[in-house]
Amino acid sequence: MLQLRFVRASLGLIVIALLFVFSPVASAQPLDQAFNFLSGCTGEYFNNVTVSGSPAYVRGDGALNFFWPENASPAPGINVNNYSVRWTCSVYVATAGNYSFTILTDDGMNVVLDGNPVIWAFYDQGPTSYSATTSVNAGWHTVKVEYYNRWMAGTAQVLTNMVSGPGPVPTATPISPVPTNVWHGQYFNNISLSGSPTLVRDDAVLNFNWGNGSPDPSIPIDFFSVKWDSTQYLAYTGNYQISATSDDGVRVWVDGALVIDAWYDHSATTFVATRYLTAGAHAFHVEYYDHTLTALINVQITYGAVPVPTTPVPQPRTMAAVDDLGFGWQAGGAGGWVDSPIGVNNHSYWMLNRTYSSSGYSWARWYPTLTAPGYYEVFAFIPANQGSTLNARYWIYHGGRYSLASRAQGFYYHQWVSLGTYYFSATGGEYVSLANVTYECYACRTVTFDAIKFEPR
């Protein structure tokens, strides 16, 4: 009988031990221990800085307390620079209350609790610490941490700590760094924001009109790009109008959300978005590039804007035409333009062809003013006895994509020639372009430039 009781007692202890081992509370990382590194996380590692696509490596990580020296990879198969990580952590809170999150990051890091941003500092920077406090209920919670390292050494640390017992829930506004109201700019000698910046500086405002010049002697007058980050303090809660005027492409993010996306070549154009923002600090990120010709960028944040209508008033589609030398016409390159008294409005240009794209070619663009989005058939006017090329390469930029329409100008005599039917978004910046590069024998053909029209279909 004594032996049976001993066996039963032993089995009971074993069962209790197993229940403790497999209890989710025991296996989770509690948030109510002072300054613990967040742990119990699954890490997804990416060979890019945008935490996008499929991860190249996945593993279970211990405490989020990492330092990777320069030229060191964070995981097998991952770059030593330009990588990112997403950690997903399940945490159990035994006691409801206000909890602090403290991070040390180099470069960018976001911390999101149950889908709500807590810390938002996703931009290039040296080792920098941020803290935020938020109210957390008892029970299970999901913490997601996104991190990226642009180059050199990488640091990623996340600590947690209970700072007080149950109380009012703090504002849900994402906690950003201390407002600086300065735009931290990184300037690149390319239009893709790639590689290491050539110039890093702080700009007081984003209001530049460089014309045909350069932002700095170290930056070319064309084919450059810039990205700026700023934490702006907003005094009021309400609607804010974010406007960006640019030539060429521009994108604007507010607290990590893309609000303006005009990443394409266009002449000076203003884009506007309206966001409801709470009083306090907010993170703004602006990306800009200049392709050719004039360069300008102006970004403004204005309180009291009215909400954007949810249902736009439909507009009728009408024919649009752009003639050479008229509104919407742009031209550039190495020159060689020859005036001709024939064509639409008794004027056109022609020039000798070039075999390949090089510094010696010239180009023209026709930017239409379209009243509404939809399908338009595009026509080019070919004057008589002026263009002899058999490979005039018209590029149509429409609805965010490019289409090529090659036409043998030498076969046409003073007539409109269809280049095809395409969908246009009618938001500005769409165009037809033509260069004197024809891939035919050098200077053995001529290319003519006259009017382009857009007929609704």
Q: How far apart are alpha carbons 303 and 232 in whole angstroms?
A: 13
Cβ neighbours, 10 Å, residue 366: 29
| pLDDT category of residue 357 using cuts at 50, 70 and 90 | low
Q: How far apart are alpha carbons 278 and 282 in whole angstroms?
A: 9
**Which residue has 């700072």 as its token pair?**
163
139: alpha, beta or left? (left if phi > 0; alpha if psi -120 to 50)? left
Q: How far apart are alpha carbons 400 and 249 in whole angstroms?
A: 12
Q: Which CATH class is domain 22-164?
A: mainly beta
Q: How far apart are alpha carbons 92 and 423 in whole angstroms?
A: 52
* Tally of helices (H runs) and strands (E runs) in the chain: 2, 34
* Whole-number pLDDT of residue 223: 93
| pLDDT category of residue 5 using cuts at 50, 70 and 90 | very low
Per-residue DSSP letter, 24: H
Closest CA to 208 of 293, 292, 123, 288: 288
372 alpha-carbon distance from chain centroid: 26
Q: pLDDT digit string (tens) for 380-401?
A: 999 999 999 999 999 999 988 8
User: Residue 163: enclosing H or E segment and its boundaries?
Assistant: strand 154-164
253 forms beta bridges with: 258, 285
Contact 130, 121 (CB under 8 A): yes
Burial letters for 380-409: b for 16+ Cβ neighbours within 10 Å, e otherwise?
A: bbbbeebbbbebbbbbbbbeeeeeebebeb
**Which residue has 């590029």 as its token pair?**
395
Contact 186, 226 (CB under 8 A): yes
Q: Higher model confidence: residue 19 or residue 36?
A: 36
Is 50 exceeded by the pLDDT of residue 52? yes
> What does the block give as tokens for 180?
């600086």
pTM of the model: 0.37
Strands 329-333 and 338-340 turn out to be unpaired
All residues at 6 or more sequence positions from 14 whose CB lies less than 8 Å from its CB, including other chains: none
Q: pLDDT digit string (tens) for 94-127?
A: 888 888 888 889 888 988 888 788 887 887 787 8
**Rounded average pLDDT over 256-263:** 85
Contact 345, 437 (CB under 8 A): no
* Whole-number pLDDT of residue 359: 63
Q: How far apart are alpha carbons 42 and 142 in whole angstroms?
A: 11
Is 80 exceeded by the pLDDT of residue 2? no
Q: Higher model confidence: residue 133 or residue 79?
A: 79
* Whole-number pLDDT of residue 1: 34
> What does the block give as tokens for 432?
């037809």
Q: How far apart are alpha carbons 111 and 137 in whole angstroms?
A: 17
Range of weakest confidence among 11-25, 240-254, 293-307, 426-440: 11-25
Q: pLDDT digit string (tens) for 262-313?
A: 888 888 888 888 888 887 778 888 999 999 888 999 998 888 755 544 555 5
Is 50 exceeded by the pLDDT of residue 12? no
* Whole-number pLDDT of residue 265: 87
> What mean pLDDT is reported for the chain?
82
Closest CA to 225 of 214, 237, 240: 214
Q: Higher model confidence: residue 166 or residue 238?
A: 238
Report cis status (omega within 30 of 0) of the bond before 229.
no
Which amino acid makes up residue 95? T
Q: pLDDT digit string (tens) for 67-104?
A: 898 888 999 999 999 999 999 888 878 888 888 888 88
CATH number given to 183-303: 2.60.120.260
Cα torsion through 332, 333, 339, 345, rounded to 10:
-30
**Rounded average pLDDT over 5-33:** 33
116 forms beta bridges with: 113
Is 60 exceeded by the pLDDT of residue 131? yes
3-state secondary structure of 13: helix
Which amino acid makes up residue 199? L
CATH number given to 320-456: 2.60.120.260
Strand boundaries in 212-328, DSSP class E: 224-234, 238-247, 250-254, 257-262, 269-277, 280-290, 295-303, 320-322
The DSSP secondary structure of 87-150, one letter per residue, reads EEEEEEESS-EEEEEEEEEESEEEEEETTEEEEEE-S--SSEEEEEEEEE-SEEEEEEEEEEE-
Q: How far apart are alpha carbons 241 and 390 in whole angstroms?
A: 50
Q: How far apart are alpha carbons 124 and 370 in whole angstroms?
A: 39
Ranges of CATH 2.60.120.260 domains, the chain: 22-164, 183-303, 320-456
Closest CA to 368 of 400, 345, 397, 394: 397
